[in-house]
Amino acid sequence: MLEILKIALLEWLIVTVMFGFVNVAAMGEGEAVIFIEPESIVGTDYKPSTNITFYVNVANVTDLLSLAFNITYAYDILSFQEFNLEYYKNLGNLKVGQGPGYLWFNLSYNTAIITDVPLTLVNVTLIVQDRGETLIDLHGTSLLNSDGTPILHTAVDGYFSNFNPYDINQDGIVDIWDIAIVAMAFGSYPGHERWNPDADVNDDGYVDIIDMTLVAQHFGEY
């Protein structure tokens, strides 16, 4: 009987300690973060004249009263269309500016923001101008609490690409030049003198007839 009690007590202690650690971890505050969502916008369906929309979010803040940030991107690939404030009912002041390939925002609120889950502050819509890829660079970020003290935080960028994966040389069209690139690397593999990872379009570690066929099937696509 005593042995059973010892085992039961030991099990109780293990569970108590485990849940204690879990609760402490759950209660611990993560570093404040401002980030672009979605982090990646990729697809050939984003043709010129179509739109993309991304969101600027914050999370893990307990006393955020004002913030500022800049967003830059390749203006030959994307151009500004509009922005909308998501968390506008609490907005105290707004300053915003934009030009070719950049946006800047300065926001302040009537009451401090407290959130440990993502909260969207702004959404931005851009028009696709051309095929390409670009970082949606979130930088120059400043988060201040209610007494003006800077809040330590991390800023996370976004990314956009609408390249066709079979447009190997990324000139905007799948053509004979892309087939030529595969042909030049035909039969190669990592370490081979003619190895070109871009020519291995199915990522199987070998440039072969399958890669050639895939590029040929998409011939003429943008």
- 138 has a pLDDT exceeding 50: yes
Q: How confident is the model at residue 221 (pLDDT cuts 50, 70, 90)?
A: confident
pLDDT in tens, 46-100: 999 999 999 999 999 999 999 999 999 999 999 999 999 998 889 999 999 999 9
> What pLDDT shows up at residue 59?
97
- 29 has a pLDDT exceeding 70: no
Cα angle 196, 202, 205 (rounded to 5 degrees) comes to 55
- Evaluate if pTM is beyond 0.85: no
Q: What's the average model confidence in pLDDT over 175-200?
A: 96
- Report the run of H or E that residue 105 belongs to, with start and end: strand 102-115
> What pLDDT shows up at residue 36?
98
CA-CA-CA-CA torsion sign (143, 144, 145, 150): positive
**Can you say how many angstroms the Cα of residue 164 is from the centroid of all Cα atoms in its chain?**
19
- pLDDT-above-70 percentage for the chain: 87
Cα 133 to Cα 92: distance, rounded to the nearest angstrom:
36
- 6 has a pLDDT exceeding 50: no
pLDDT in tens, 195-215: 999 999 999 999 999 999 999
> What pLDDT shows up at residue 56?
98
SS3 197: helix
The residue to which tokens 């059973």 are assigned: 4
Q: Rounded to a whole number, what is the distance in angstroms from the first to the last CA of the chain?
A: 77
* More confident position, 221 or 193: 193
- 1 has a pLDDT exceeding 80: no
Cβ distance 118 to 112 under 8 Å? no
Number of Cα atoms under 13 Å in the Cβ half of residue 82: 3
Cβ distance 98 to 71 under 8 Å? no
Give the helix ranges, DSSP H, for the chain: 2-27, 176-185, 209-217
- pLDDT-above-90 percentage for the chain: 80
**Torsion, CA 34, CA 35, CA 36, CA 42, rounded to 10:** 170
